[in-house]
């Protein structure tokens, strides 16, 4: 295997990303909502952790029906977060520390309060009419008005919203306040390009781009044959997607900017790799969802499902191999603002195993091939919301719409099952305020009532106590990120090999550099003690949360405690 040639090296491959969810990170004003000045006050914490790139979830002006993913002005900051001068201060503070700023762009849809849509809905001949997707109603045999097709919204119900003003429906793949833009219209694409240039000219280093694979729709808008999320086959990677992505990629290239595209509802790896192949000039990397759908049942996200370690292995191995073999790049993530907490989802958040499990997640994730993404609170092992919380504590529109749809029509046992699924999978799990210390409201705010309730376990899980404790989850993340940089030829640019594939408790993999240097990562996903025969001769322990020395692993046999992980050089 030859070494990676220089042109393939890039700053965004070698760095790691920390995602900030602004509303829940740090409140500097006592409003109960996080803000930009709060983020600025915590930059040194992020620098000390060892991350290089800070990605902010949407901060633009928004009515907040979907926590900022409904944008009413792309060039104005939402007032509760601050103003554009705060972005400038944040940018400068990050750049002074050698760090980068990535903004979250939502360009598949806008808010229904955006000026473009306000104009569009006024009349059929308005100049902005075809900036969005409008269709006349269909009528059934009884003469009842029906949506133009049977596509389903990602937030429950039809994907079409009727508007009385012009007696037509507009497409909204998400909530009714999020009308989809019509990317077939060149004026829409020019406006999107203008927004990108505005922020790149202002010093942003790149973008995370929301559901970017939805921007091209099959223009015949056919009915769907699918029973869950009907319609995705007609717009997830639509006919002109790659043409549009190349237009975005050309702009990003001018600025040497980074991009990560969110691409849900696609399992065709060939389609996804086209978006990130180095020679195509589209996106730097993508978030695919095959791993995130692992616990989704037959009726979608909020239906129960079980998974085995073998499934996790096959999915991870598939994408590790596929990106490496096809000159693509992985965005490595197990948590974000839309997903539950990894320690609760993939390992064990019970009191006796929680800390070891959180450390396992750090080692398992960040030593894979790709750019690691750490979501706020992941570095201290924050968990899902308590099982005891009632539905009145939940804020997530997806979860609440689902509950609204079923709560009056199902029996008590089904209601209990649904509430259990919400506690496991609701987006609210990631959106509780950051747990900074053990003071009131976890140090997130001085307000008596934050916008969302703080997780009850903040006295046990908080950043202040972990920064002081060298054996903490936080320090495991620090060490992992440090070792990833120290051995970049192995962990950033090296190959990936699954080891002991049939083992149902141990997930082990090898990373191999172009010059033959190698490392082994071993993770015990079970709550049992396991004696594991590696078959490899270790020469140095890189990371061992339990303090294992080279003598403990040299004989090719490793005694792994419950939820224990280790990384060694071979």
Is the confidence at residue 425, as pLDDT, over 80? Answer: no
Lowest mean pLDDT among 47-51, 195-199, 405-409, 565-569: 405-409
Please state, for a pLDDT cut of 90, what percent of the chain lies above it: 79
- Cβ proximity of 181 and 168 under 8 Å: no
**Mean pLDDT confidence for 198-212:** 97
pLDDT at 145 over 60: yes
Cβ-Cβ contacts under 8 Å for 467 (sequence gap 6 or more): 45, 48, 474
pTM equals: 0.94
What local confidence, expressed as pLDDT, does residue 214 receive?
A: 97
The answer, yes or no, to whether residue 9 has pLDDT greater than 70, is: yes
CA distance 336 to 383: 13
pLDDT for 273 beyond 60: yes
Of these residues, 35, 66, 168, 210, which one is catalytic?
A: 210
pLDDT tens digits, 542-552: 999 999 999 89
| Lookup: tokens for 478 | 């620090």
503 vs 292: which has the higher pLDDT: 503
Q: How many CA atoms lie within 13 A of 386 on its CB side?
A: 11
**pLDDT confidence tier of residue 424, bands split at 50, 70 and 90:** confident
Catalytic site residue from 66, 112, 262, 335: 262
Domains and CATH numbers, the chain: 12-110+186-340+371-468 (3.20.20.80), 115-171 (3.90.400.10), 495-569 (2.60.40.1180)
Distance CA 52, CA 204 (A): 14
Distance CA 519, CA 551 (A): 17
Is the per-residue pLDDT at 303 higher than 80?
Answer: no
Determine whether 210 is an active site residue.
yes
Examine the pLDDT at 1 and tell me if it is beyond 70. no
Return the pLDDT at 269: 80
Question: How is residue 234 annotated by DSSP?
Answer: G
Active-site residue flag, 130: no
pLDDT above 50 for 4: no
Once rounded to an integer, what is the mean pLDDT over residues 231-258?
96
């Amino acid at each position: 295997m030859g070494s990676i040639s220089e042109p393939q090296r890039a700053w965004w491959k070698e760095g790691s990303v920390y995602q900030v969810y602004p509303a829940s990170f740090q409140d500097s004003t006592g409003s109960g909502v996080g803000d930009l000045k709060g983020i600025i006050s915590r930059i040194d914490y992020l620098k000390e952790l060892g991350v290089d790139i800070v990605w902010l979830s949407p901060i633009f002006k928004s009515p907040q029906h979907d926590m900022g993913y409904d944008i009413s002005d792309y060039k104005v900051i939402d007032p509760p977060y601050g103003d554009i001068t705060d972005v400038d201060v944040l940018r400068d503070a990050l750049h002074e520390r050698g760090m980068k700023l990535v903004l979250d762009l939502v360009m598949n849809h806008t808010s229904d309060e955006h000026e473009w849509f306000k104009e569009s809905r006024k009349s059929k001949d308005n100049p902005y009419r075809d900036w969005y997707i409008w269709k006349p109603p269909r009528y059934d045999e009884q003469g009842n008005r029906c949506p133009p097709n049977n596509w389903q919204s990602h937030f429950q119900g039809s994907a079409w919203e009727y508007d009385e003003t012009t007696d037509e429906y507009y497409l909204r793949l998400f909530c009714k306040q999020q009308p989809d833009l019509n990317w077939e219209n060149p004026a829409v694409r020019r406006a999107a390009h203008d927004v990108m240039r505005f922020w790149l000219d202002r010093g942003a280093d790149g973008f995370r781009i929301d559901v970017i694979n939805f921007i091209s729709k099959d223009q015949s808008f056919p009915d769907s044959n699918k029973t869950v999320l009907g319609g995705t086959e007609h717009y997830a990677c639509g006919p002109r997607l790659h043409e549009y992505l190349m237009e975005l990629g050309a702009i990003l290239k001018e600025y040497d900017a980074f991009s990560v595209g969110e691409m849900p509802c696609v399992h065709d790896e060939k389609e996804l790799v086209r978006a990130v192949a180095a020679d195509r000039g589209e996106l730097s990397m993508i978030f695919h969802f095959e791993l995130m759908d692992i616990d989704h049942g037959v009726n979608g996200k909020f239906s129960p499902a079980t998974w085995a370690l073998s499934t996790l292995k096959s999915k991870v191995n598939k994408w590790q191999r596929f990106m490496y073999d096809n000159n693509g790049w992985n965005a490595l993530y197990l948590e974000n603002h839309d997903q539950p907490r990894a320690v609760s989802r993939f390992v064990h958040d019970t009191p006796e195993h929680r800390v070891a499990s959180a450390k396992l997640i750090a080692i398992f994730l960040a030593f894979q091939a790709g750019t690691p993404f750490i979501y706020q609170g992941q570095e201290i092992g924050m968990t899902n919301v308590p099982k005891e919380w009632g539905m009145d504590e939940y804020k997530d529109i997806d979860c609440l719409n689902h509950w609204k749809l079923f709560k009056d029509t199902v029996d008590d046992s089904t209601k209990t099952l649904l509430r259990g699924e919400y506690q496991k999978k609701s987006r609210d799990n990631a959106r509780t305020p950051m747990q900074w210390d053990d003071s009131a409201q976890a140090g997130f705010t001085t307000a008596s009532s934050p916008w969302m309730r703080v997780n009850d376990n903040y006295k046990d899980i908080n950043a202040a106590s972990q920064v002081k404790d060298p054996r903490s989850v936080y320090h495991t993340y620090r060490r992992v990120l440090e070792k990833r940089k120290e051995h970049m030829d192995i962990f950033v640019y090296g190959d990936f090999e699954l080891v002991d594939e049939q083992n149902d408790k141990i997930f082990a993999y090898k990373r191999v550099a172009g010059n033959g240097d190698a490392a082994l990562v071993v993770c015990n996903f079970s709550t049992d003690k396991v004696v594991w025969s590696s078959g490899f001769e270790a020469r140095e322990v890189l990371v061992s949360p339990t303090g294992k020395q080279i003598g403990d692993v040299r004989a090719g046999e490793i005694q792994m405690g419950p939820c224990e992980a280790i990384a060694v050089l071979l």
